[in-house]
Amino acid sequence: ATTEYAVCTGDDIDLYKVDLTAGDKLDLTMRFPSNNIADMTLFKPSQSDAISKLSTGDAFTFEFQKSEEPLSYVAKECGTHYVLVFSADGTSAGNYSLESTLGKAACQDMDAFASTCNHGQSTAQLVSPDTSYDALTVCPENEDWFKRAGSGGLTLLGELTASQGDIADLSF
């Protein structure tokens, strides 16, 4: 979908939100009638408290003397992501169009923990001792987090990633 927008003044910002699941691919293309007047930064859910023109976010574009700025992003977290559009030099204003395409990840992490999106330390899922968890999925470029209650009120955190080889080769 392509929509027309405007940066009205040098200190104007436009903020968009999009819900993504870890592994989703978001392609954004910002176009200008002439050379670029704006830049954009994408913030993942864990960065929602830091959204500003001065923050780099998780992905960004800063092009010079171009009529188009593309941004391709693969979500690392589940939840609401934010795209901030702002004047490229702090003084420019003008019109732009924003085209977006959302693609689902090639690897779909649709295991027993998918609804809770256990892709970060804060969303680690509690696993019980002496319990078997079958058909779990971890996708390349993502991670799954688990936790287990230990003795003395301690919690053990574990991160599972796949960087090479086949996840089917993994056993506990």
Segment 71-124, tens digit of pLDDT? 999 888 888 999 999 998 888 889 999 999 999 877 777 788 877 888 778 888
Most confident of 24-33, 57-66, 141-150: 24-33
Stated pTM of the model: 0.75
The CB density around residue 69, as the number of other CB atoms within 10 Å, is: 22
Please report, for residues 68, 77, 142, 161, the alpha-carbon distance to residue 109 in angstroms, rounded to integers and kept in the order given.
33, 12, 9, 12
Q: How confident is the model at residue 13 (pLDDT cuts 50, 70, 90)?
A: very high
How far apart are the C-alpha atoms of 39 and 68, rounded to whole Å?
A: 10
Q: How confident is the model at residue 18 (pLDDT cuts 50, 70, 90)?
A: very high
Query: Which of 24, 32, 5, 25 has its CA nearest to residue 16?
Result: 5
pLDDT at 123: 83
Q: What percent of the chain has pLDDT over 70?
A: 92
What residues are paired with 97 via a beta bridge? 4, 31
The answer to whether residue 163 scores a pLDDT higher than 90 is no
pLDDT at 157: 84
Higher pLDDT, 110 or 49: 49
Query: Which of 50, 52, 53, 69 has its CA nearest to residue 61?
Result: 69
Q: What angle do CA 155, 162, 46 make, to 5 degrees?
A: 55
| 71, two tokens | 């941004």
Torsion sign across C-alpha atoms 45, 49, 50, 51: positive
The answer to whether residue 38 scores a pLDDT higher than 80 is yes
How far apart are the C-alpha atoms of 28 and 30, rounded to whole Å?
A: 7
